[in-house]
Every structure is written in structure tokens, then in C-alpha cells.
């Protein structure tokens, strides 16, 4: 059957809309000149040299740090809830999974924006804090607010993959471990957790990537003080107009993410072959 | 017993965390004051204003026009692509799959600036067409990824049997392959639609000439304060989605019951 030929148009599509744009960004990254006029471009690694300065490296470090902490918080908060849901009866389980997905149907910008109301000066949380004696604690426009926004937005992405691995897990293995005298902690750390690792790794990937590259959450909740690498890229393309430096930062971000994915997938021995073998 | 209550409390807290902003948004869509933070009485005027606000209606029109068009096109393109990829072998298959994975793994902002660079180089005018192309670009890989597993599950000999019995390849495709992978196609199409409706980052970089979807509109308002009509609009959209879901759920429960009773 010669059905594989009908895949060729998509090959052309991939070439035009995925490969060429990335090559263009790479080209922009290694050139300087007037971003609007291709004839002024000249090869240079100036942009990379510019990036290796305490200011920009500091921003990259902050982005990675915040994304790492938020991924960790999502894992610590999300794993127990995934475990709880997976042990419910199928009917309750389905409802709870649905309840994890439903919030995502409201525009994520609006949901993030709503935190401004909750955390603001007259917000409920500020009032609760001042009631218990923590008066004048600023909840908005700092790293804590950005972290909260990240955890809020990406928590379901951590819970769902872990949950789906846990429900497919063979319960006989847990029972076998119990029969052989393992206590509950041992059952968890030696049987359940190792078996759920593929889900954990998918979860980490799905939280870390959007967290490290966000500019919306930091822009809304972090105020001007909280600049992340995403904000820098946004500024270069939308306001400053230096597409070359913006492209350099995009390439650095992309290479960083692909490298860390390659590293994490090394731990993921059970990964199925086929798609994504490169990572 | 203590353990069980602890679990319940924990589950409650997590869901409270997830739903708190949504509840706040819904409450404030009924707030008489234009400023968030202070409550000055119940009103329905934001809902009334919503239908008079030309700007909001225009934004809503573009959001749905883009979402519907891009999800239909990417479902068709993705289905054809998935069937093609399934038939490929070796290095071709592997490289196509990896290329297909790139937009999924790449941060949105990188895909966004890459497309922005492409459209600029091709001298396309930023607006509806570029926005549509961008949405198709980031949706198709998800459609392909939801259809491929269904193709893998399919019995390889089904299409061959059909053709042995005299069906042309196109006929076999239409009558055998497509029905077999239909659940994957539907999942992919719905996914494409949801991704498109909710997208901000890629749209933000690839639109122009006053064409905004809901997310861009909200972002542009965020600094000066979001108009409560937007709260009203999202409340309506959210409630209609949940209602739709409950209806579908109810109907499938009923049909399950009918099937069980027949047995």
C-alpha cells in the first residue's frame, strides 16, 4: 500500500512552518544589523557576547531557579493528590479528574489576573494575614507571587500524567510487596514511586518548560521587579526591535530546554520507542 | 479514620486553590463597582453591556473564527499526515516524528518568534492570515500525536483485506481506516480547538492590524485594569462549557443504562 505518500505534503508543511522559522531564528541570532532590512545583516557572535554579562546571565539564572522551585512545589503538592484520586472508585475518580481540567477552560490570563484581586491590598488573603498578625506583608509584585502563579497554572499538568500512570499500575505488585512484609513507606518508595517515574518525568517536563519561558505570569504578578528570560525576549521583539538579540536569547533558551529534556529522559528508562527518540 | 479525614482536607484545599480565582471572577462579574477589590452591590449591568460592546463582540468573533477554522484545517491535515507517517519507515519516520515533536517541546515563545520571523521574511501582512497559519502550525502536531496511537492499535491487515476484496486505496481509507481511527481524530480536533481558544503567546507575536483574540485583548487591558464585561463574558463561556459537559455526561450515562437494561 502506497499510503505513505500522502504524508509528503505534511513534510513540506513541517519544512516551511517549523524548520525554516527555526533556521531563521538561528540566522538572526548569529548576525547583527537593522532587524527590518536583510541587506544590512552581517555575521557576528556579538549577541552571544552581550548575553554573557552578569545582568543577562542573572535573569537566566532567576528564570531557571523560579521554574525549578515551582516544578518542585507542583511535584510535592501534586503527587499526593494524584495518588488520592487514583485510589478512588472509578465514578468519583472521573469526576475528580474532570474537576482538575475544568479550571483550564477559563482563560488562563483571566485566572492569573484574578490572583491580583486575591493578593492585592484589599484582597482576602492579605486580610487573613493581617488578621493573624502579619500586617503589611506584600503579597504582590514579588517572586513569591510569580511562584504562586506558576504553581497555580501548571499544577494540573503535574497531577494528570502521574495520575494516569498510577491508575494503570498493576495493584498485584503492591499487594505482593505487602505480603512479603513491606511496610507502607517501603511499599511507596520501593514499588509505587519507582513505577510512577514515567508520569513524574512527563509532569516535570510539562511544568518546567512553560514555567521557565513564561512572560505573562511574571508580567502580571511580578511587576517590573520580576524580569524573566521570557520578558526579555518579549521586549526585544515587541518593543526594542532588536530581533537579533531576541533570537540569541530564544536559541539559548531552546538549547537549554532541549538539553535538560535529554538529561531527564536518560532517567526515564521505560520510555517507549518510536516518537521523540532524539530527546 | 484520621488519615481519611486528612486526605479529604488535603483534596479540599487543593481544589479550593484551583477554584478560588474562578469563584472570584464570577462574583466580581456581578459587582456594581468598576474597580476590583471593592464590592458595591449586585448588578447585572456588565452582562447587559457585554452585548452592546462592539469591541468585545469583534474579539469574540475573531477568537471563534480562528479556533473553528484552524481546528478544522489542522484536523484534516493532521489525519492525512498521521496516516502517511504511519506508513513511513526507518530514518524518514524518525526525523518526521522528531520534527513534529519540536513545537510540542519548544517553549511557546520560541515557536512564536520563529513564526514571526518567517512571516516577516515572507512579507506577509500580520493579521488574520498569519494568526490562522500560526494556530494551524502549533495544533497539527497534537492532532498527529493523538491519531498515531490509534493507527498503531489498528489491525494491519484490515486495509489490506479491503483492498484484496477489490477496494481502491482511497475507498479502503475512507471505509476502513478512517472509521477505525475516528476516536483519535475527534480527540485531536477537540484538542486543537481548545489550544486555539486558549492560546496567548503565539497569537500575541503573530497578529497585527488590530486583529485580537480574547487572550490578547485581556492582556492589553491588564495593565489599566480589566473591564468587568470581560468577567461577565468569561463567566458565560465557562458556565456554558460546564453545562455542555454535564449534558454530554448525562446522555452517555443514560445510554449506558439503556445498554445495560437491554442486556
**Chain A residues lying within 8 Å of B226, measured CB to CB:** 110, 113
ipTM for the complex shown: 0.82
User: What pLDDT, in 10s, does the model give residues B165-187?
Assistant: 888 878 888 888 888 888 888 88
B-chain CB neighbours of A123 within 8 Å are 37
**Counting Cβ atoms within 10 Å, is residue A183 exposed (0-12), middle (13-18) or buried (19+)?**
exposed
Residue B260 has pLDDT above 50, yes or no: yes
The chain A residue lying nearest B112, using CA atoms, is: A21
Restricting to B residues 172-191, those with a Cβ less than 8 Å away from any Cβ of A are 173
pLDDT at A275: 40
Q: Would the pLDDT of B68 be above 70?
A: yes
Does the structure show a pLDDT above 70 at A2?
A: no
> Domain of A177?
53-267
Q: Does A185 reside within a domain?
A: yes
Query: Which cell numbers hold the place of A80?
Result: 499526593
Nearest in space to A63 (alpha carbons), one of B174, B236, B109: B109
Residue A21 forms part of a structural domain: no
User: Do residues A231 and A146 make contact, with C-beta atoms less than 8 angstroms apart?
Assistant: no
Residue A243 forms part of a structural domain: yes
Sequence-ordered list of residues with C-beta below 8 angstroms from that of B12, at least 6 positions apart, any chain: none
Question: With 70 as the cut, is the pLDDT of residue B2 above it?
Answer: no
For the cut 70, the answer to whether the pLDDT of residue B189 exceeds it is: yes
Distance CA B232, CA A17 (A): 37
- Asked whether residue B27 carries a pLDDT value surpassing 90, the answer given is no
> Cβ(A50)–Cβ(A59) under 8 Å?
no
> Grid coordinates representing A144?
513569591
Reported pTM: 0.84
The answer to whether B90 faces chain A, any CB pair under 8 Å, is: no
Per-residue pLDDT tens for A129-184?
A: 777 766 666 677 778 888 999 999 999 999 999 998 888 888 888 888 888 888 88
- Quick check: A271 pLDDT over 50? no
* Structural domains of chain B in order of their starting residue, each with its CATH number: 57-226 (1.10.3720.10)
Cβ distance A24 to B117 less than 8 Å, yes or no, reads: yes
Residue A173 CB neighbour total at 10 angstroms: 13
Q: Is the pLDDT of residue A59 over 80?
A: yes
Residue located via cell numbers 463567566: B235
Considering only CB atoms, A114 lies closest to which of B25, B77, B114, namely: B25
Report the domain count for chain A: 1
A20: chain B residues, CB-CB within 8 Å: 118
Judge whether residue B59 has pLDDT over 50: yes
Distance from CA of B88 to the nearest CA of A (A): 5
* Rg, chain B, Cα only: 23
Whether A24 is in a domain gets the answer no
pLDDT band at B100 (very low <50, low <70, confident <90, very high): confident
Q: Which of B11, B30, B105, B117 to mutate: most A Cβ within 10 Å? A: B117
Using CA coordinates, name the residue in chain A closest to B224: A220
Chain-chain contact of A3 with B84 (C-beta, under 8 angstroms)? yes
Classify residue A36 by its DSSP letter. Answer: T
Q: How far apart are the first and last CA of chain A?
A: 31
Contacts of B241 in chain A (CB under 8 A): 105
CATH assignment at residue A177: 1.10.3720.10
Tell me, yes or no, whether A31 lies in a domain: no
Q: What was the pLDDT predicted at A278?
A: 37
Q: Out of B15, B116, B137, name the one closest to residue A237 (CB).
A: B116
Chain B residues whose CB is inside 8 A of the A160 CB are none
pLDDT band at A58 (very low <50, low <70, confident <90, very high): confident
Q: Do A107 and B215 touch (CB under 8 A)?
A: yes
Neighbours of B22 (CB within 10 A): 19
Query: Would you tell me which residues 14-73 of chain B have a C-beta closer than 8 angstroms to some C-beta of chain A?
Result: 14-15, 17-22, 24-25, 28, 36-38
Q: Which of A15, A16, A17 to mutate to test the interface with B (most CBs of B within 10 A)?
A: A17
Could you tell me the pLDDT band of residue B256, with boundaries at 50, 70 and 90? low
More confident residue, A243 or A2: A243
Is residue B134's pLDDT more than 90?
Answer: yes
The C-alpha cell at A17 is: 512552518
CB distance A9–B80 less than 8 Å? yes
Cα gap B228→B29, rounded to integer Å? 6
CB contact under 8 A, B85 and A10: yes
Q: Smallest CA–CA separation between A184 and chain B, in Å?
A: 13
Residue in B15, B107, B204 nearest the CB of A253: B107
Taking Cα atoms as reference points, which of B237, B219, B70 lies closest to residue B142? B70
Identify the CA nearest to A253 among candidates A46, A59, A14, A44. A59
Asked whether residue A117 is domain-assigned, the answer is yes
Residue A3 forms part of a structural domain? no
Query: Nearest CA to CA, how far is B84 from chain A (Å)?
Result: 4
B90 vs B80, B94, B95, B143, B149, CA distance in Å? 19, 6, 9, 22, 18
Classify residue A68: in a domain, yes or no. yes
pLDDT(A274) > 50: no
Amino acid at each position: 500500500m502506497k499510503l505513505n505518500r500522502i504524508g509528503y505534503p505534511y513534510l513540506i508543511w513541517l519544512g516551511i512552518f517549523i524548520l525554516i522559522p527555526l533556521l531563521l531564528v538561528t540566522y538572526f541570532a548569529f548576525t547583527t544589523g537593522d532587524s527590518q532590512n536583510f541587506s544590512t545583516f552581517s555575521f557576528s557572535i556579538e549577541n552571544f557576547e552581550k548575553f554573557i554579562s552578569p545582568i543577562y546571565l542573572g535573569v537566566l539564572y532567576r528564570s531557571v531557579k523560579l521554574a525549578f522551585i515551582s516544578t518542585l512545589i507542583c511535584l510535592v503538592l501534586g503527587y499526593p493528590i494524584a495518588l488520592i484520586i487514583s485510589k478512588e472508585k472509578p465514578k468519583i475518580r472521573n469526576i475528580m479528574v474532570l474537576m482538575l481540567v475544568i479550571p483550564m477552560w477559563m482563560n488562563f490570563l483571566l485566572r492569573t489576573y484574578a490572583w491580583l484581586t486575591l493578593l492585592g491590598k484589599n484582597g482576602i488573603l492579605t486580610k487573613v494575614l493581617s488578621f493573624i498578625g502579619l500586617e503589611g506583608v506584600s503579597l504582590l509584585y514579588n517572586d513569591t507571587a510569580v511562584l504562586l502563579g506558576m504553581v497555580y497554572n501548571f499544577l494540573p499538568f503535574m497531577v494528570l500524567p502521574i495520575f494516569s500512570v498510577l491508575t494503570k499500575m498493576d495493584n498485584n505488585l503492591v499487594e505482593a510487596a505487602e505480603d512479603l512484609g513491606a511496610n507502607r513507606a517501603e511499599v511507596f518508595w520501593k514499588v509505587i514511586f519507582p513505577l510512577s517515574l514515567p508520569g513524574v518525568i512527563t509532569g516535570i517536563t510539562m511544568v518546567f518548560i512553560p514555567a521557565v519561558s513564561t512572560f505573562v505570569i511574571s508580567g502580571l504578578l511580578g511587576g517590573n521587579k520580576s524580569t524573566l528570560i521570557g520578558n526579555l525576549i518579549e521586549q526585544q521583539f515587541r518593543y526594542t526591535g532588536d530581533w537579533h538579540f531576541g533570537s540569541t536569547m530564544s536559541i539559548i533558551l531552546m538549547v537549554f530546554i532541549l538539553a535538560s529534556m535529554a538529561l531527564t529522559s536518560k532517567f526515564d528508562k521505560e520510555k517507549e520507542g518510536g516518537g521523540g527518540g532524539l530527546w | 479514620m484520621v488519615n481519611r479525614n486528612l486526605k479529604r482536607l488535603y483534596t479540599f484545599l487543593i481544589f479550593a486553590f484551583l477554584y478560588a480565582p474562578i469563584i472570584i471572577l464570577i462574583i466580581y462579574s456581578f459587582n456594581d463597582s468598576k474597580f476590583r477589590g471593592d464590592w458595591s452591590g449586585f448588578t447585572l449591568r456588565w452582562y447587559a453591556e457585554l452585548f452592546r460592546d462592539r469591541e468585545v463582540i469583534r474579539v469574540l468573533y475573531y477568537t471563534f473564527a480562528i479556533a473553528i477554522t484552524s481546528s478544522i484545517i489542522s484536523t484534516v491535515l493532521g489525519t492525512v499526515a498521521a496516516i502517511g507517517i504511519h506508513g513511513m519507515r526507518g530514518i524518514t519516520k524518525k526525523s518526521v516524528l522528531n520534527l513534529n515533536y519540536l513545537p510540542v517541546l519548544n517553549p511557546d515563545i520560541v515557536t512564536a518568534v520563529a513564526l514571526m520571523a518567517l512571516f516577516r521574511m515572507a512579507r506577509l501582512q500580520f493579521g488574520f492570515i498569519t494568526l490562522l497559519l500560526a494556530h494551524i502550525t502549533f495544533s497539527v502536531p497534537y492532532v498527529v500525536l493523538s491519531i498515531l496511537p490509534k493507527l498503531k492499535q489498528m489491525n494491519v491487515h484490515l486495509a489490506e483485506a479491503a483492498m484484496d476484496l477489490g477496494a481502491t486505496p482511497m475507498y479502503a481509507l475512507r471505509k476502513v481506516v478512517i472509521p477505525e481511527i475516528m476516536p483519535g481524530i475527534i480527540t485531536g480536533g477537540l484538542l486543537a480547538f481548545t489550544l486555539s481558544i486558549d492560546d496567548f503567546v503565539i497569537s500575541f507575536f503573530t497578529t497585527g492590524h488590530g486583529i485580537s483574540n480574547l487572550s490578547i485583548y485581556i492582556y492589553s487591558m491588564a495593565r489599566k485594569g480589566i473591564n468587568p464585561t470581560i468577567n461577565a463574558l468569561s463567566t458565560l463561556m465557562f458556565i456554558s462549557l460546564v453545562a455542555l459537559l454535564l449534558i454530554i455526561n448525562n446522555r452517555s450515562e443514560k445510554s449506558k443504562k439503556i445498554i445495560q437494561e437491554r442486556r
